[in-house]
């Protein structure tokens, strides 16, 4: 029996997490014939494990541009999302424990104001009134009002289903074994051909594209029983920035989120070099103790479930969005670390602009994979060896 003829599309996407799903919908809306391939289920991977905080970050101008643009796209999309997506613009309160962190809150406030992002500095008393379960005596905080939360797996499923309704092919249950030279191959021998392939396999991206500067960064989350009103905003300690910046050491930070169900999502941890999916008990304990340091009463709440997930981290903390060096058919949409829910929509928008040769909403330059010369050299060497 001869093998089935390959299927042809304009764009084939590997990975049905939030980034792949957002790309599928944006590409099909732009008029492309699209196929999306996922080995497990839509919205699995980090998308199922993440916190769903849609947050403007300002570590760098590039990070700010991508998170802010994407947040605007989330607000525009929100009216079309199903209720199960649990989109809510709750706002983030960056909690300042002491005067030094309050000065950082003031800096952040000015920085965001200069860029048109509304935020409000909170005194100690205002913080206590807004979040009565925080420990008394904290210095204050910064409320960033347009930050939001969603339930990411439901959104990913919704975006992919919308894409399917508009004509995209969705192939689930088989892993990609080869991606390059205009061809995607699955582990059952199926072949999909397209002039544009997109690697959106998150932290697994180096499997399909060897040599990518993407590493797994493990995280833990815990979810409690229902305690409506216990937390009212996404609360993040300003010290979070220090832990998120560390590229080598294990770290935890106070980061809690109220869910629409009344449950509280408690994070977060960051670990390199640990690819074991099992819960790391000492790190989990440290994470929960950190939460109790900021919210003493949280220690008495009933935790229902704890899990881990892997962020796709790059050396410069910016994602890889754009053409892959050394393969004219291959495009990358990975390396979003702890911001892939926030930035999925702007990622898709940047790729549409590149595919249609139209003006992008923000400059694509900071995210281009070609910034990693090492990657370029590695792939060139590989090509020469073949
Ligand atoms: C603990 C934790 C908390 C987080 N909190 C937030 C947050 O609050 N806000 C935020 O913006 N981001 C957050 N993130 C980051 C966010 O979850 C990720 O950046 C985002 O989900 C990445 O989406 P993705 O589609 O690129 O990857 P994934 O969601 O990992 O999707 C990749 C998909 O590719 C599939 N796949 C992999 N290999 C293959 C293959 N060979 N063949 C076929 N399919 C394949 C996988 O099954 C998976 O479904 C958090 C992450 C973690 C771990």
Q: How far is the CA of 1 from the centre of ligand 1 (A)?
A: 38
Pairing of the two strands 11-14 and 196-199? parallel
Question: What is d(CA 327, CA 208) in angstroms, rounded to the nearest whole number?
Answer: 13
- Atom 14, ligand 1: residue with shortest CA distance: 338
Residue 244 pLDDT more than 70?
no
Say if ligand 1 is within 6 A of residue 336 CB: yes
Q: Are 332 and 205 in contact (CB under 8 A)?
A: yes
Q: How far is the CA of 117 from the centre of ligand 1 (A)?
A: 27
The pLDDT tens digits for 307-343 are 999 999 999 999 999 999 989 999 999 999 999 999 9
- Atom 21, ligand 1: residue with shortest CA distance: 47
Locus of tokens 């699995």: 44
Residue 384 pLDDT more than 50?
no
Q: How far is the CA of 53 from the centre of ligand 1 (A)?
A: 13
- Helix, strand and coil in the chain, % to nearest 5: 40, 25, 35
From 18, 41, 45, mutation site for ligand 1 pocket: most ligand atoms within 8 A of C-beta: 45
The residue-averaged pLDDT of 356-373 equals 96
In terms of Cβ atoms closer than 10 Å to its own Cβ (0-12, 13-18, 19+), residue 359 is exposed
Question: What is d(CA 253, CA 244) in angstroms, rounded to the nearest whole number?
Answer: 9
Q: Are 295 and 276 in contact (CB under 8 A)?
A: no
pLDDT band with cut points at 50, 70 and 90 for residue 6 = confident
Q: How far is the CA of 342 from the centre of ligand 1 (A)?
A: 12
Q: How far is the CA of 297 from the centre of ligand 1 (A)?
A: 31
**Phi, psi angle pair for 21, to nearest 5°:** -65, -45
Q: Which 3 state secondary structure label does DSSP give 169?
A: strand
Q: Are 220 and 287 in contact (CB under 8 A)?
A: yes
Q: Give the per-residue pLDDT at 386.
A: 36
Domains, in order of start, for the chain: 7-50+152-214+317-385 (3.50.50.60), 90-147+215-312 (3.30.9.10)
Q: Give the per-residue pLDDT at 243.
A: 56
From 12, 15, 67, 283, mutation site for ligand 1 pocket: most ligand atoms within 8 A of C-beta: 15
Nearest residue to 34 (alpha-carbon basis) of 158, 162, 164, 159: 164
pLDDT band with cut points at 50, 70 and 90 for residue 239 = confident
The residue-averaged pLDDT of 113-140 equals 98
Q: Are 145 and 94 in contact (CB under 8 A)?
A: no
CA dist list (Å): 237 to 81, 267, 270: 30, 11, 15
Q: How far is the CA of 10 from the centre of ligand 1 (A)?
A: 24
Nearest residue to 312 (alpha-carbon basis) of 333, 290, 331: 333
Q: Give the per-residue pLDDT at 64.
A: 98
Among the ranges given (44-48, 65-69, 151-155, 271-275), the one the predictor scored with the smallest mean pLDDT: 271-275
* Cβ density class 314-344: b for 16+ within 10 Å, e for less: beebbbbbbbbbbbebbbbbbbbbbbbbbbb
Say if ligand 1 is within 6 A of residue 141 CB: no
The residue-averaged pLDDT of 205-230 equals 97
Q: Give the per-residue pLDDT at 3.
A: 64
Question: What is d(CA 360, CA 29) in angstroms, rounded to the nearest whole number?
Answer: 16
Residue 241 pLDDT more than 80?
no
The residue-averaged pLDDT of 193-200 equals 98
Say if ligand 1 is within 6 A of residue 204 CB: yes
Q: Which 3 state secondary structure label does DSSP give 196?
A: strand
Say if ligand 1 is within 6 A of residue 319 CB: no
Q: How many CB atoms lie within 10 A of CB 386?
A: 4
**Phi, psi angle pair for 328, to nearest 5°:** -65, -15
Q: How far is the CA of 4 from the centre of ligand 1 (A)?
A: 31
Alpha helices in the chain (DSSP H): 18-29, 45-49, 61-78, 99-114, 124-130, 152-165, 205-208, 240-245, 281-294, 340-356, 373-385
Say if ligand 1 is within 6 A of residue 43 CB: no
Question: What is d(CA 16, CA 176) in angstroms, rounded to the nearest whole number?
Answer: 12
Q: Are 112 and 119 in contact (CB under 8 A)?
A: yes
**Phi, psi angle pair for 346, to nearest 5°:** -70, -30
The residue-averaged pLDDT of 86-94 equals 97
Q: How far is the CA of 203 from the centre of ligand 1 (A)?
A: 7
- Atom 16, ligand 1: residue with shortest CA distance: 340
Phi/psi region, residue 262 (left: phi>0; alpha: psi -120 to 50; beta: rest), is: left
103 vs 374: which has the higher pLDDT = 103
Q: Torsion over CA of 350, 354, 357 and 362, rounded to 10 degrees?
A: 30
Q: How far is the CA of 311 from the centre of ligand 1 (A)?
A: 7
Ligand 1 atom closest to the Cα of residue 45 is 30
DSSP-assigned letter for residue 364: -
């Amino acid at each position: 029996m001869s093998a089935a003829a390959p299927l042809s599309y304009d764009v084939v996407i590997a990975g049905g997490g939030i980034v792949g799903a957002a790309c599928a919908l944006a590409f099909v809306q732009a008029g492309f014939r699209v196929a999306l391939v996922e080995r497990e289920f839509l919205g699995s991977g980090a998308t199922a494990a993440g916190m769903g905080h849609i947050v403007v970050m300002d570590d760098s101008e590039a990070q700010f541009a991508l998170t802010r643009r994407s947040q605007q796209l989330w607000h525009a999309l929100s009216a079309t999302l199903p209720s199960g997506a649990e989109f809510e613009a709750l706002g983030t309160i960056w909690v300042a424990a002491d005067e030094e962190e309050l000065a950082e809150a003031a800096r952040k406030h000015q920085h965001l104001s200069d860029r048109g992002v509304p935020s409000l500095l909170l005194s100690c008393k205002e913080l206590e009134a807004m979040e009565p379960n925080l420990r008394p005596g904290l210095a204050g905080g910064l409320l960033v009002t347009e930050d939001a939360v969603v339930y990411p797996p439901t959104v990913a499923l919704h975006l992919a289903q919308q894409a399917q309704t508009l004509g995209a092919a969705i192939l689930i249950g088989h892993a990609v074994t080869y991606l390059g030279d205009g061809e995607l191959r699955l582990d059952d021998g199926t072949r999909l051909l397209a002039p544009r392939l997109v690697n959106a396999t998150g932290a697994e991206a180096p499997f399909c594209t060897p040599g990518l500067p993407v590493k797994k960064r493990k995280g833990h989350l815990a979810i409690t029983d229902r305690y409506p009103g216990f937390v009212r905003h996404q609360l993040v300690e300003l010290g979070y920035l220090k832990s998120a910046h560390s590229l080598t050491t294990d770290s935890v930070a106070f980061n809690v989120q109220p869910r629409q169900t009344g449950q509280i999502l408690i994070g977060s941890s960051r670990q390199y070099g640990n690819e074991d999916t099992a819960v790391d008990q000492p790190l989990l304990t440290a994470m929960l103790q950190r939460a109790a340091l900021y919210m003493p009463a949280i220690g008495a709440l009933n935790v229902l479930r704890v899990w881990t997930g892997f962020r796709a981290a790059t050396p410069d903390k910016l994602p890889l969005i754009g053409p892959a060096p050394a393969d004219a058919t291959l495009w990358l949409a990975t390396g979003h670390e702890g911001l892939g829910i926030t930035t999925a929509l702007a990622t898709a928008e940047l790729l549409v602009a590149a595919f249609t040769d139209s003006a992008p909403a923000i400059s694509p330059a900071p995210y281009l994979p070609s910034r990693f010369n090492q990657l370029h050299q590695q792939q060139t060497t590989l090509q020469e060896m073949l």
